[in-house]
Structure formats: structure tokens, C-alpha cells
Amino acid sequence: MKKVTGFLAFLSILSAQEIVLKPAGEYKILSNVHLVNGVSYKKPDYQALIEIPAGTTAKWEVNHETGHLEWEFKNKKPRNVKFLGYPGNYGFIPQTILEKNEGGDGDPLDIIVLGSAVDRGSIQAVKVLGALKLLDSGEQDDKIIAVPMNGPFSKVESLGELMTEFPGTVEIIRYWFTGYKGGEMHFMGYMKRKEAEVLIEKAHESWSKQHHAH
């Protein structure tokens, strides 16, 4: 089983935060900040905290209580998605939550960032293009689709442009998410960029209310 090694401190220019990641064995990566609550939300671009690099299948996620990265366990074994590798860098937008009382899953808003793989725990400044509307066992589990500020997708401004300039990309993402759980995920349509940004802002407001209540 491959060990998590080689993680160094890195600086997110837009947030001016130094995020220091330190491996703690094979199944955990410690951080000097809480990776949900302690990472800047928007300064001025949205940010994505990457849990699963593109092309990989190991199901890592941030522990919402501790703020550290952990390899999810299932049936007492580290979980790997039994499917093709993730078609982009997958994670969430810090300081957001989809509340269960509004049909969500109670977790931060998921995001997939197109492009080459980056290190687990990286923060990417991204441009939102839209989103997939998905239901996971009846719960809202939408996936924001975004691109890095640099790279081959950087000039794309919408899902429509992505479909035109990079044919098949959106369909690959859609079919991956509706297939990797063996049919549990149901596609409900697409969101345009403005609608996706409204969802993000709403999710941030929900996080703010919950965070400041404690």
C-alpha cells in the first residue's frame, strides 16, 4: 500500500495562508489549520481544497471535526473507489455546507477541478463554470465544475464553452459521477455558472450561521 510522503508547506497566494501538511502514518495528514473552517472562502476567487488528486481512487477526505485529512475506512479497510480514477482534482469549497434540513447531505459543497493532478491537500484558486445536479440516495449532492486560473481550460467561461471547446469533457464528468457508485447517483440536470455561484453563496451562508452559532 502506497504511503503518503513528500508533503511540504505551501503558500496560497490569494489567501496569504501558509498551510503546513504533515503525514501521520499511512492514513492521516495533519494540518496546522482547520481545512474546512480555517481556509479563506473567497479572496477574490473561489478556492478548492483538494482531497483526491485527478486519476487516483483512494477515498481521502477532511475530517470535519479535526480539520485533518484522513483516508476513509470502510469495513475496517482503507477505501478505494472501485471504478476509474477521478476525472479531475476532487474536493470541496471551504466554509460551505449543504444543510440536511434543506435536502443536502450536511457536508461541504463538493467541487471537481479539471486539469492535471495536484497534491492532496492543495488549495486551488478556481473559476466556476457550473455544476452537476445530483441526488445520492435522495440527498442533494451537487458537484461544482471548475477550472484552474491557469492551464488549457483557463479561458473557458461556461459549461457551454467547455462543451464546444473540449467536446466530451462534461459528459465524461457526468457519466463518471453517475457510474462510480453503481447507480446510486442520479443526474438531475446542469446548473449554469450564475446558478452554481448562487448555490455556493447559499452554502457559505449556511456554514456561517452554523459556525457562528457554536
In-domain check, residue 30: no
Omega within 30 of 0 (cis) for the link into 152: no
DSSP state at residue 38: S
pLDDT (average), residues 23-29: 95
In-domain check, residue 172: yes
Instruction: Round to whole Å and give the CA distance between 129 and 119.
Output: 22
In-domain check, residue 103: yes
Residue count of the chain: 214
pLDDT > 70: percent of the chain: 91
Residue with cell 466556476: 128
CA contacts within 13 A on the Cβ side of 49: 31
Q: Which helix (H) or strand (E) holds 18?
A: strand 17-19
| Residues whose CB is less than 8 angstroms from the CB of residue 45 and which lie 6 or more positions away in sequence, other chains included | 14, 125, 126, 127, 149
In-domain check, residue 33: no
User: What pLDDT sits at residue 183?
Assistant: 81
User: What pLDDT sits at residue 214?
Assistant: 58
Q: Would you place residue 140 in the very low, low, confident or very high pLDDT band (cuts 50, 70, 90)?
A: confident
pLDDT > 90: percent of the chain: 75
Cell of residue 59, nine digits: 477515498
In-domain check, residue 187: yes
Whether residue 47 has pLDDT greater than 90: yes
In-domain check, residue 29: no
Least trusted range by pLDDT, from 60-64, 131-135, 170-174, 210-214: 210-214
In-domain check, residue 148: yes
In-domain check, residue 179: yes
- What are the strands, taking DSSP E only, across 86-211? 89-92, 110-113, 123-136, 139-140, 143-148, 185-191
Whether residue 2 has pLDDT greater than 60: no
User: What pLDDT sits at residue 114?
Assistant: 97
Domain containing residue 105: CATH number: 3.90.80.10
Q: Which helix (H) or strand (E) holds 30?
A: strand 28-31
Whether residue 80 has pLDDT greater than 60: yes
Least trusted range by pLDDT, from 74-83, 95-104, 124-133, 165-174: 95-104
| Residues whose CB is less than 8 angstroms from the CB of residue 195 and which lie 6 or more positions away in sequence, other chains included | 130, 131
Instruction: Round to whole Å and give the CA distance between 208 and 19.
Output: 22
Nearest alpha carbon to residue 204 among 144, 114, 153, 146? 144
Strand partners, 71: 60
- If one counts the domains in the chain, the total is 1
Q: Find the domain containing 185 and state its range.
A: 46-57+82-213
